[in-house]
Each structure stands twice: as C-alpha cells, then as structure tokens.
C-alpha cells in the first residue's frame, strides 16, 4: 500500500521549521539546507514541496497572514462590544504573545530580505491596512467615531500606530510589553470614540 | 612634505560610500571590499579607519543620527510657534525627502542586520524616544497639551506613530508621500493640543 502523506500538514511542518531557523539564525541562515535539517527531512523532500528558497519564504509569510486572520475571525464571532472587539483584534497584530512575537520576527526579516529582491509576496499587501480601514469605517457608520474626524486620516494613523508599536515591541520587548501595548491601543481607540 | 589628510572628512566620505552601497545592494552587499571600491580607496586605506565591518556600519549609523540632530537643532533655533516647530521636527524623522529616505533605508537595514548580532550600536538608543518625550513634556508644561492626557502614553503613541509612518513611507513611498506624512503628523499634533 502506498504511504499516505498529508501534503498540507507537511508543508506547514516545513514552514514552521523555516520560522524556527529564521528566529534563531536570522534570514541569512534560512537556507534550504538548514531548513531541511530543522524539519528533519531530506533536501529532496523539501524541494518536492518548495522548488526555490523564495517559494518557501513566501509560503511561511502567507502562513503568518493566515494564522493572524484565523485568530481575528475567532474574535469577530465572539460578538463583544465594538471598542472591545477592535482593541482585541489590534492586540493580535502586535507582538503581545510568543506567537505574535515570532510572527513579527518573521515579518520583519522577510521585509528586510525582500527589500532588494523580487519576491512573490508584497509586504504592502499584508491585509492590515485593509482591516484597519474596515474598523474605522465601522466606527464611523455606527456613529461611535467622534464627530469631525477624517476616516481616511484616522485609518492611516491607526495603521502607523500599530506597526510602530509592533516594531518597538520587537526591538525592546521589556519596555513595550503586553500591558503597555494594551494601554496604548486602548487609550488611542478611546481617544477617537465618543464616550 | 607629508600629505595632509582630513581624517574626519575621509571617514565621512567612507561612511557615505557605505550608505550608497547599502541602498543599492542591501546590507548583504555592504562588504568592506564593495565599500572600498565605491569610496575609490584601497582596502588597506579603508581598514586604517575601520578595522572591522561592524565598526564601519556603526559609524554610518552614528552619522545618520548626527545629521538628523543637526537638522533638528537648526529648526529649534528658528523659534517658530511650538506646534509648528514640533511638526517640522517630526518631519525630519520620517522619509519625506531623498535624504531622510536614505537615512531610513540605512536605519532599517542596520536594525535587520544587527537583530541577530552583537553590534556596537543599539537601535533602541537612537535618541528619538528621548526627543519625543521632551516634546510632549514641553507641550504639557506650556499648557498646550489637552487636559487629561497622560504624558507618558502620549509619548509612546507619538513615538510609535512616527516610526510606523517611517516604515510605511519606506515600503510604499508613492502612497505615503511627503504631503501624506505632513497631513497625518499635523492632524495628530492638533488632536493632542488645545485649540
């Protein structure tokens, strides 16, 4: 009987090995050789799934995006009050846990790596701007947004705030810890919403 | 007669060559060999000033910091109204011109490079948090800051906003252009100040 292999599971296993290598050795250590070793598979097996290193890195980044989306969808169905939902979602986009810190490391390493290369993943299309635009529009439509605020400018501000906090939390996790992230994001959402 | 060499000028010339190499080839191209070639000097001459590549990169980063400080000091002595001064200074910290874009590229490449290395320059100590803290305290002391705002939280917010905008402007300069940066920063400073 032929061996049955769950290909999606195997790809995910390889992508997770990729993350561990990036986290430990930086992007320059993320060679197919090191990744195959970390995943405990042969180079040939790795190449079966990802023919080039770029393919593999793009897949690892897509997985970061998918995981974040899954967590966010989970929050949406909880049906909490709007401000609470928004702060909870924003907390999934900054390094407030080990998981989100790892995602930030991969995201950052990927951006740095792809700056001077043609990669199949466009870091500008990570979906965060779109999601934040959606939140601000929602606050506007439900009349929770303070009068006179510009939806477009508030979107840009919140987007920059989230990525700036994410960057600072990655660089200085002791100072910008979970509590600090929650404090700043809550205070910002409060400042743009009616009482 | 011995040849007179202005050592500071020569170091600066080398540091500038380093930037050009980083901008064109990314941090992985910033080898002493490539930098010597770009600066039009011998490897030996380069090593006279910088014995290791790390020394050179740290110096290039220090120079970014010094240049930004010089521009900011220039703004301070202009003695404009407080809000105007603050927005003008913040605009020096985001990629709004070719010069500040180049600085951002070097800063970003340096952070990415030094994430998994022991480097002599701590990216957390770039002076920006300190400068922003100073601005918010100034607004508070001169009673320009809106009542009830927390000085500490507002400092963290503005710091994250500035670095988030800087990141987005680097990644997507067409969308986050000079005008957009000015609009967001002006709107934010207006939002935390009294009329």
Q: What is the DSSP letter of A50?
A: -
Interchain CB distance below 8 Å, A116 and B150:
no
Tell me what ipTM this predicted complex has. 0.87
If DSSP codes are grouped into helix, strand and coil, which group holds residue B6?
Answer: coil
Interchain CB distance below 8 Å, B109 and A115:
yes
A2: CB partners within 8 A, 6+ apart: none
Note whether B188 contacts A: Cβ–Cβ < 8 A. yes
Per residue in B51-70, pLDDT (tens digit) is: 887 888 788 788 888 888 99
Distance CA B22, CA B114 (A): 14
Distance CA A15, CA B122 (A): 31
Query: Domain A7-192, what fold?
Result: Tetracycline Repressor; domain 2 (1.10.357)
Per residue in B73-100, pLDDT (tens digit) is: 999 999 999 999 999 999 999 999 988 8
Distance from CA of A86 to the nearest CA of B (A): 17
Per-residue model confidence (pLDDT) at position B120: 58
Note whether B189 contacts A: Cβ–Cβ < 8 A. no
What is the arithmetic mean of pLDDT over B17-31?
Answer: 80
Q: Tell me phi and psi for residue A32, to 5 degrees.
A: -60, -35
Q: Using the predicted structure, report yes or no on whether residue B2 has a pLDDT greater than 60.
A: no
Distance CA B174, CA B195 (A): 32
Would you say A144 and A194 are in contact if contact means Cβ atoms under 8 Å apart? yes
> From first to last of its 195 residues, what are the pLDDT tens digits of chain A?
556 668 888 888 888 898 888 778 776 788 889 999 999 999 999 999 888 878 887 887 888 888 889 999 999 999 999 999 999 999 999 999 988 888 888 888 778 777 766 655 566 667 889 999 999 999 999 999 999 999 999 999 999 999 999 999 999 999 999 999 999 999 999 999 997
Question: Residue B145 pairs with which residues in a beta bridge?
Answer: B193
Per-residue model confidence (pLDDT) at position A64: 84
Q: Tell me phi and psi for residue B126, to 5 degrees.
A: -85, 0
Interchain CB distance below 8 Å, B124 and A167:
no
Which of B134, B153, B155, B136 has the alpha carbon at shortest distance from B145?
B136
Q: What is the DSSP letter of A188?
A: H
Distance CA B159, CA B133 (A): 8
User: How is chain B split into domains, by residue range?
Assistant: 7-192
Which run of H or E residues covers position A102?
Answer: helix A98-114
Distance CA B108, CA B114 (A): 10
Distance CA A144, CA A151 (A): 12
| A residues 139-158 lying closer than 8 A (beta carbon) to B | 150, 153, 156-157
Distance from CA of B42 to the nearest CA of A (A): 27
Interchain CB distance below 8 Å, A157 and B115:
no
Q: What is the DSSP letter of A124?
A: G
| Alpha helices, H only, B4-95 | 7-25, 32-39, 43-49, 53-77, 82-91
Question: Residue B10 pairs with which residues in a beta bridge?
Answer: none
Residue of A nearest to B109 (CA): A112
């Amino acid at each position: 009987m032929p061996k049955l292999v769950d290909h999606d599971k195997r790809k995910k296993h390889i992508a997770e090995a990729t993350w561990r290598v990036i986290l430990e050795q930086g992007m320059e250590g993320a060679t197919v050789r090191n990744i195959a070793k970390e995943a405990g598979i042969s180079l040939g097996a790795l190449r079966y799934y990802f023919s080039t290193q770029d393919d593999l890195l793009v897949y690892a980044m897509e997985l970061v995006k998918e995981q974040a989306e899954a967590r966010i969808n989970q929050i949406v169905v909880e049906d909490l009050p709007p401000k609470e939902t928004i702060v909870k979602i924003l907390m999934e986009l900054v390094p407030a846990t080990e998981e989100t810190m790892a995602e930030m490391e991969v995201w950052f390493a990927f951006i740095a790596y792809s700056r001077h290369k043609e990669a199949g993943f466009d870091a500008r299309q990570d979906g965060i701007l779109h999601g934040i635009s959606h939140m601000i529009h929602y606050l506007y439509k439900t009349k929770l947004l303070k009068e006179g605020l510009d939806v477009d400018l508030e979107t840009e501000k919140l987007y920059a705030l989230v990525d700036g906090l994410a960057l600072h939390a990655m660089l200085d996790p002791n100072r910008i810890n979970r509590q600090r992230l929650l404090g700043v994001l809550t205070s910002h959402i409060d400042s743009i919403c009616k009482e």
